[in-house]
Amino acid sequence: MAGIFERMTMIAKSSVNELLDKFEDPEKIVDQAIIDATNEYAKIKEEALSVIANEKFALKKLDSIKAEAAEWHRIAGAALKAGNEEDAKKALMKEGESKSSADAQEKVYESAKKAAETVRGKLEDMEQEINAMKQKASEIKAKAVAAKASRAASSVTEMGIDQGAFEAFSRMEQKVDEELAKAEALETMTKGVVSEAEEDLKKKYREGAADAEQALEELKKELGL
Protein backbone atom coordinates (compact mmCIF):
# COMPACT_ATOMS: atom_id res chain seq x y z
CA MET A 1 0.00 0.00 0.00
CA ALA A 2 2.79 2.39 0.88
CA GLY A 3 4.30 1.95 -2.55
CA ILE A 4 1.07 2.96 -4.26
CA PHE A 5 0.64 6.15 -2.27
CA GLU A 6 4.34 7.01 -2.48
CA ARG A 7 4.10 6.70 -6.26
CA MET A 8 1.03 8.95 -6.36
CA THR A 9 2.74 11.47 -4.06
CA MET A 10 5.74 11.50 -6.38
CA ILE A 11 3.46 12.08 -9.37
CA ALA A 12 1.63 14.91 -7.59
CA LYS A 13 4.87 16.66 -6.66
CA SER A 14 6.70 16.17 -9.96
CA SER A 15 6.73 18.80 -12.65
CA VAL A 16 4.89 17.98 -15.84
CA ASN A 17 8.14 17.82 -17.81
CA GLU A 18 9.46 15.24 -15.36
CA LEU A 19 6.27 13.25 -15.85
CA LEU A 20 6.74 13.27 -19.61
CA ASP A 21 10.39 12.25 -19.23
CA LYS A 22 9.69 9.41 -16.80
CA PHE A 23 6.43 8.07 -18.21
CA GLU A 24 5.40 7.39 -21.76
CA ASP A 25 1.81 8.28 -20.90
CA PRO A 26 1.46 10.16 -17.57
CA GLU A 27 -2.34 10.30 -17.87
CA LYS A 28 -2.52 6.51 -17.82
CA ILE A 29 -0.06 6.35 -14.93
CA VAL A 30 -2.24 8.71 -12.89
CA ASP A 31 -5.39 6.71 -13.65
CA GLN A 32 -3.65 3.43 -12.80
CA ALA A 33 -2.35 4.82 -9.50
CA ILE A 34 -5.91 5.73 -8.51
CA ILE A 35 -7.19 2.30 -9.53
CA ASP A 36 -4.42 0.57 -7.55
CA ALA A 37 -5.06 2.73 -4.48
CA THR A 38 -8.82 2.09 -4.69
CA ASN A 39 -8.29 -1.67 -4.99
CA GLU A 40 -5.87 -1.65 -2.07
CA TYR A 41 -8.37 0.34 -0.01
CA ALA A 42 -11.04 -2.27 -0.76
CA LYS A 43 -8.74 -5.08 0.41
CA ILE A 44 -7.81 -3.29 3.63
CA LYS A 45 -11.45 -2.43 4.29
CA GLU A 46 -12.36 -6.09 3.92
CA GLU A 47 -9.62 -7.07 6.37
CA ALA A 48 -10.66 -4.25 8.69
CA LEU A 49 -14.16 -5.69 8.98
CA SER A 50 -12.86 -8.58 11.09
CA VAL A 51 -11.04 -6.13 13.41
CA ILE A 52 -14.15 -3.98 13.80
CA ALA A 53 -16.29 -7.08 14.27
CA ASN A 54 -13.88 -8.29 16.96
CA GLU A 55 -14.34 -5.00 18.81
CA LYS A 56 -18.10 -5.39 18.72
CA PHE A 57 -17.87 -9.03 19.82
CA ALA A 58 -15.54 -8.12 22.72
CA LEU A 59 -17.91 -5.37 23.86
CA LYS A 60 -20.91 -7.66 23.61
CA LYS A 61 -19.14 -10.32 25.68
CA LEU A 62 -18.10 -7.73 28.29
CA ASP A 63 -21.67 -6.51 28.60
CA SER A 64 -22.83 -10.09 28.96
CA ILE A 65 -20.36 -10.83 31.77
CA LYS A 66 -21.29 -7.60 33.57
CA ALA A 67 -24.96 -8.54 33.25
CA GLU A 68 -24.16 -11.98 34.64
CA ALA A 69 -22.34 -10.43 37.62
CA ALA A 70 -25.32 -8.16 38.23
CA GLU A 71 -27.66 -11.17 38.10
CA TRP A 72 -25.61 -13.08 40.70
CA HIS A 73 -25.67 -10.01 42.89
CA ARG A 74 -29.46 -9.91 42.63
CA ILE A 75 -29.68 -13.64 43.45
CA ALA A 76 -27.42 -13.19 46.49
CA GLY A 77 -29.72 -10.43 47.74
CA ALA A 78 -32.82 -12.53 47.15
CA ALA A 79 -31.28 -15.51 48.99
CA LEU A 80 -30.28 -13.34 51.91
CA LYS A 81 -33.80 -11.91 52.16
CA ALA A 82 -35.10 -15.48 52.14
CA GLY A 83 -32.84 -16.25 55.14
CA ASN A 84 -30.56 -18.54 53.11
CA GLU A 85 -27.09 -17.23 53.78
CA GLU A 86 -25.43 -20.27 52.20
CA ASP A 87 -27.08 -19.64 48.88
CA ALA A 88 -26.28 -15.95 49.25
CA LYS A 89 -22.58 -16.79 49.73
CA LYS A 90 -22.58 -19.03 46.67
CA ALA A 91 -24.22 -16.31 44.58
CA LEU A 92 -21.70 -13.75 45.82
CA MET A 93 -18.87 -16.12 44.88
CA LYS A 94 -20.32 -16.39 41.37
CA GLU A 95 -20.62 -12.62 41.24
CA GLY A 96 -16.94 -12.32 42.14
CA GLU A 97 -15.98 -14.76 39.40
CA SER A 98 -18.04 -12.80 36.90
CA LYS A 99 -16.41 -9.56 38.00
CA SER A 100 -12.96 -11.11 37.54
CA SER A 101 -13.98 -12.28 34.07
CA ALA A 102 -15.32 -8.80 33.36
CA ASP A 103 -12.00 -7.22 34.34
CA ALA A 104 -10.15 -9.57 32.01
CA GLN A 105 -12.68 -9.02 29.25
CA GLU A 106 -12.38 -5.25 29.76
CA LYS A 107 -8.71 -5.47 28.77
CA VAL A 108 -9.61 -7.58 25.74
CA TYR A 109 -12.21 -5.04 24.73
CA GLU A 110 -9.87 -2.07 25.17
CA SER A 111 -7.29 -3.80 22.97
CA ALA A 112 -9.89 -4.62 20.32
CA LYS A 113 -11.25 -1.07 20.50
CA LYS A 114 -7.79 0.42 20.01
CA ALA A 115 -7.16 -1.84 17.01
CA ALA A 116 -10.52 -0.93 15.49
CA GLU A 117 -9.90 2.79 15.99
CA THR A 118 -6.50 2.45 14.31
CA VAL A 119 -8.09 0.66 11.36
CA ARG A 120 -10.89 3.22 11.09
CA GLY A 121 -8.36 6.05 11.13
CA LYS A 122 -6.30 4.36 8.43
CA LEU A 123 -9.36 3.84 6.25
CA GLU A 124 -10.36 7.48 6.68
CA ASP A 125 -6.84 8.59 5.77
CA MET A 126 -6.90 6.40 2.67
CA GLU A 127 -10.29 7.77 1.64
CA GLN A 128 -8.98 11.33 1.94
CA GLU A 129 -5.82 10.47 0.00
CA ILE A 130 -7.78 8.80 -2.79
CA ASN A 131 -10.16 11.77 -3.01
CA ALA A 132 -7.17 14.11 -3.14
CA MET A 133 -5.63 11.94 -5.86
CA LYS A 134 -8.82 12.12 -7.92
CA GLN A 135 -8.96 15.91 -7.59
CA LYS A 136 -5.28 16.22 -8.48
CA ALA A 137 -5.61 13.83 -11.43
CA SER A 138 -7.57 16.26 -13.62
CA GLU A 139 -5.01 18.99 -12.97
CA ILE A 140 -2.09 16.68 -13.79
CA LYS A 141 -3.76 15.48 -16.99
CA ALA A 142 -4.47 19.04 -18.15
CA LYS A 143 -0.87 20.07 -17.49
CA ALA A 144 0.45 16.96 -19.24
CA VAL A 145 -1.62 17.70 -22.36
CA ALA A 146 -0.44 21.32 -22.36
CA ALA A 147 3.17 20.22 -21.92
CA LYS A 148 2.90 17.76 -24.81
CA ALA A 149 1.48 20.47 -27.06
CA SER A 150 4.25 22.86 -26.00
CA ARG A 151 6.91 20.26 -26.69
CA ALA A 152 5.42 19.47 -30.09
CA ALA A 153 5.37 23.18 -30.98
CA SER A 154 8.99 23.56 -29.87
CA SER A 155 9.96 20.51 -31.90
CA VAL A 156 8.35 21.92 -35.05
CA THR A 157 10.00 25.30 -34.48
CA GLU A 158 13.41 23.73 -34.04
CA MET A 159 13.13 21.44 -37.08
CA GLY A 160 13.29 24.03 -39.92
CA ILE A 161 14.27 23.23 -43.53
CA ASP A 162 17.79 22.50 -44.70
CA GLN A 163 19.51 25.83 -45.50
CA GLY A 164 20.98 24.23 -48.60
CA ALA A 165 17.48 23.89 -50.00
CA PHE A 166 16.79 27.56 -49.32
CA GLU A 167 20.06 28.59 -50.97
CA ALA A 168 19.37 26.46 -54.06
CA PHE A 169 15.87 27.89 -54.34
CA SER A 170 17.25 31.43 -54.00
CA ARG A 171 19.88 30.85 -56.68
CA MET A 172 17.26 29.44 -59.03
CA GLU A 173 15.00 32.45 -58.40
CA GLN A 174 17.89 34.82 -59.12
CA LYS A 175 18.76 32.97 -62.31
CA VAL A 176 15.16 33.12 -63.52
CA ASP A 177 15.04 36.84 -62.76
CA GLU A 178 18.24 37.39 -64.76
CA GLU A 179 16.91 35.44 -67.75
CA LEU A 180 13.66 37.38 -67.60
CA ALA A 181 15.56 40.68 -67.55
CA LYS A 182 17.63 39.62 -70.57
CA ALA A 183 14.51 38.65 -72.47
CA GLU A 184 12.86 41.97 -71.69
CA ALA A 185 16.00 43.87 -72.77
CA LEU A 186 16.19 41.91 -76.03
CA GLU A 187 12.52 42.59 -76.70
CA THR A 188 13.07 46.29 -76.12
CA MET A 189 16.07 46.36 -78.41
CA THR A 190 14.28 44.44 -81.14
CA LYS A 191 11.32 46.78 -80.98
CA GLY A 192 13.70 49.73 -81.29
CA VAL A 193 15.39 48.34 -84.39
CA VAL A 194 12.08 47.50 -86.07
CA SER A 195 10.65 50.90 -85.27
CA GLU A 196 13.71 52.66 -86.68
CA ALA A 197 13.62 50.65 -89.92
CA GLU A 198 9.93 51.34 -90.33
CA GLU A 199 10.41 55.05 -89.81
CA ASP A 200 13.24 55.17 -92.34
CA LEU A 201 11.10 53.38 -94.88
CA LYS A 202 8.15 55.71 -94.31
CA LYS A 203 10.37 58.77 -94.48
CA LYS A 204 11.99 57.57 -97.64
CA TYR A 205 8.73 57.13 -99.46
CA ARG A 206 7.21 60.23 -98.08
CA GLU A 207 10.20 62.21 -99.34
CA GLY A 208 10.09 60.39 -102.68
CA ALA A 209 6.42 61.21 -103.20
CA ALA A 210 7.02 64.88 -102.43
CA ASP A 211 9.92 65.06 -104.94
CA ALA A 212 7.80 63.45 -107.64
CA GLU A 213 5.01 65.94 -107.10
CA GLN A 214 7.43 68.83 -107.26
CA ALA A 215 9.07 67.51 -110.43
CA LEU A 216 5.68 67.09 -112.01
CA GLU A 217 4.73 70.70 -111.26
CA GLU A 218 8.02 71.98 -112.68
CA LEU A 219 7.51 69.94 -115.82
CA LYS A 220 4.05 71.45 -116.26
CA LYS A 221 5.45 74.91 -115.96
CA GLU A 222 8.14 74.15 -118.46
CA LEU A 223 5.60 72.91 -120.99
CA GLY A 224 3.25 75.78 -120.27
CA LEU A 225 0.57 73.49 -119.05
Q: Answer with the one of 121, 141, 160 that is the final residue of a domain.
A: 160
Average pLDDT, the chain: 76
Question: Is pLDDT of 1 > 50?
Answer: no
Domain harbouring 137, CATH code: 1.10.287
Neighbours of 115 (CB within 10 A): 16
The answer to whether residues 100 and 201 belong to one domain is no
The answer to whether residues 217 and 174 belong to one domain is yes
More confident residue, 56 or 23: 56
The answer to whether residues 95 and 146 belong to one domain is yes
Q: How confident is the model at residue 48 (pLDDT cuts 50, 70, 90)?
A: confident
Q: What total of structural domains would you count in the chain?
A: 2
pTM: 0.49
Residues 82-106 have pLDDT tens digits of: 999 999 999 999 999 999 999 999 9
Angstrom distance (rounded) from CA 70 to CA 13? 60
The answer to whether residues 43 and 10 belong to one domain is yes
The answer to whether residues 50 and 89 belong to one domain is yes
Q: Answer with the one of 107, 137, 160 that is the final residue of a domain.
A: 160
DSSP state of 82: T
Q: If 0-12 CB within 10 Å is exposed, 13-18 middle and 19+ buried, where does residue 102 land?
A: buried
Residues 210-220 have pLDDT tens digits of: 566 676 677 67
User: CB under 8 Å to 65, separation ≥6 — which residues?
Assistant: 98, 101, 102, 105
pLDDT score recorded for residue 182: 72
Residues 141-174 have pLDDT tens digits of: 777 777 667 666 666 555 554 556 557 667 776 7
Determine the structural domain holding residue 26 and report its residue range.
2-160
pLDDT score recorded for residue 159: 54
Planar angle of CA 1, 118, 50, nearest 5 degrees = 80
- Tallying the residues shown for the chain, one arrives at 225
The answer to whether residues 136 and 34 belong to one domain is yes
